[in-house]
Chain A
Amino acid sequence: MLLIGRLGLAVIFLLAAYGKLRPQNAVPWTLASLKITPATLGLSMTFFAMQVDSYQLLPARMVSPFAHSLPWVELALGVLLLTGFALRYVSLASALLVALFYGVVIRSYALHLAINCGCFGPNEKLDSWTLVRDGCMFALGVAVTIAAFIVHRRSGPALAASPHSEHAT
């Protein structure tokens, strides 16, 4: 269960990172337009910065640094979840990040901000559907974190002492 859960969470983070890093000008959509190149990367992240800005949550000077680092954090968490390295801490960090997203989405929905979510790429309206989806992701993050701690505890002190103990999950 933990394996499937963490893989699911990893794929979500990887898709979220890819959605922000891929070229945003894919109109009309083609397979070639999904390729990330150094030339498209800067534009994609600045486009994402505009989406972050539309939440009206961060001061203008913080929008760009946040938007330029978030996709890489998501990518790192996705890769770490895939490998299972330091699973307890990585899953905890993932759950906290998803909790942050969930809180921001709830706030925006409550304020009736008619904006795009920007969660998995552009042109994605923030609505009740987003709340349900992010709620599911939050539940998955919490479940994986709890499971990671339980499995670690059950695996015993001998396994816990091993540097590879968390790969065994």
Chain B
Amino acid sequence: MMRSFFYNGKNLNRNSLGILAAACAAFLLLFCVAPYVVSAAAQTPAEWERLSAEKSLGNPNAPIKMIVYDDYECPVCGELYEQTLRPLIDDYVASGKVYLIHRDFPLTIHLYSRQAARWVNAAARIGKFEAVERAIFDNQMAWSEYGTENPKGIIKPIVQSALTPAEFKRVERLMQGCESNSQSEIKGCLVDAGIQRDLAEGELLPVRATPTIVISAHGQQYPPMTGAISWPILRQFFDQLLSQK
């Protein structure tokens, strides 16, 4: 069949070659060039630069800014937090090299991620974001639907353990009207507004999955990275960014 279509035994069939060339060109255009054009169009909005100071760690004037879109119930987000963000916070954030911005992106496929985000947002309003976020991630296996411990979805005692009684009372007050595990915005739940804003910004990016990381340095923003990245590799990238003028 190949012989008859492309090659008649002596000469190449010009018409068939033309069709093949057009097919190859279409293939290249579709699979290799199109992604650049699509990606360029998707990268134009600079909306994600707005910071949420309540849920950020470090010096806002740090040379590197890193935004993390997280879902508290997503196992990869937990892995990223424990293995990468914790050493990052203890080292590069503490030393003023990196400004770490947390944004909530609770996925509707997770039953309790929105509720966890509400607790963290409430804690952030009293300046206790870091402690509660750490407690939520440290105990992810205790409350998430993927967890091995029961009961699932019970986040309150974990938040309580990370705060003083007075702080917890303030957080509880902010959580009034937010008791439901509803995955959509609850009217009357004060902290949901912040989550909605983060979600809207994430959708502009667009965040396709969690965790999604956006790094910017020297006034330039890098494309979003999705998935878990190990600390040694991330640190190597940061060191190169820091060595640049």
Contacts and interface: CB of A to CB of B under 8 A. Distances in A.
Interface stretch (B144-152, B159-167, B234-242): B234-242
B4 interface: no
Interface stretch (B24-32, B91-99, B127-135, B194-202): B24-32
Contacts of A53: 228-230, 233
B11 interface: no
Contact of B32 (A42, A50, A120): A120
A115 B35 contact: no
B232 to A, nearest CB: 5
Interface of B is mostly: helix
Contacts of B17: 1, 4
Query: Is the interface on chain B under 10, 10 to 19, 20 to 34, or 35 or more residues?
Result: 35 or more
Contacts of B32: 11-12, 15, 120
A25 B225 contact: no
Nearest to B244: A39
B40 interface: yes
Nearest to A125: B208
Contact of B228 (A1, A54, A133): A54
A121 B36 contact: yes
Interface of A is mostly: helix
Interface in B198-244: 208-210, 220-230, 232-234, 236-237, 240-241, 244
B43 A8 contact: no
Interface residues of A, number: 43
Contacts of A114: 76, 208-210, 226-227
A50 B234 CA distance: 7
A112 B86 CA distance: 25
B24 A116 contact: no
B53 interface: no
Interface string B26-56: 0110011101100110111010000000000
A28 B43 CA distance: 6
Interface string A105-137: 000000001111000111111000000010011
B20 interface: yes
Nearest to B21: A4
Contacts of B236: 46, 49, 64
Nearest to B6: A1
Given A1-B6, A4-B20, A25 B28 contact: no
A124 B6 contact: no
B214 to A, nearest CB: 9
A8 B27 CA distance: 9
A32 interface: no
Interface string A64-95: 10000000000000000000000000000000
Nearest to B217: A25
Contact of A50 (B7, B28, B35, B237): B237
Given A27-B223, A29-B43, A120 B35 contact: yes
A18 to B, nearest CB: 10
A50 to B, nearest CB: 5
17 contacts: A15-B33, A25-B221, A26-B43, A39-B244, A43-B237, A46-B233, A47-B222, A54-B227, A60-B233, A63-B233, A115-B227, A116-B224, A116-B225, A121-B35, A121-B36, A125-B208, A137-B31
Interface of A: 1, 4-5, 7-8, 11-12, 15, 19, 24-29, 39, 42-43, 46-47, 49-51, 53-56, 60, 63-64, 113-116, 120-125, 133, 136-137
Complex A-B, nearest 6 residue pairs according to Cβ-Cβ distance, in ascending order? A114-B209, A54-B227, A29-B40, A123-B223, A115-B227, A122-B223
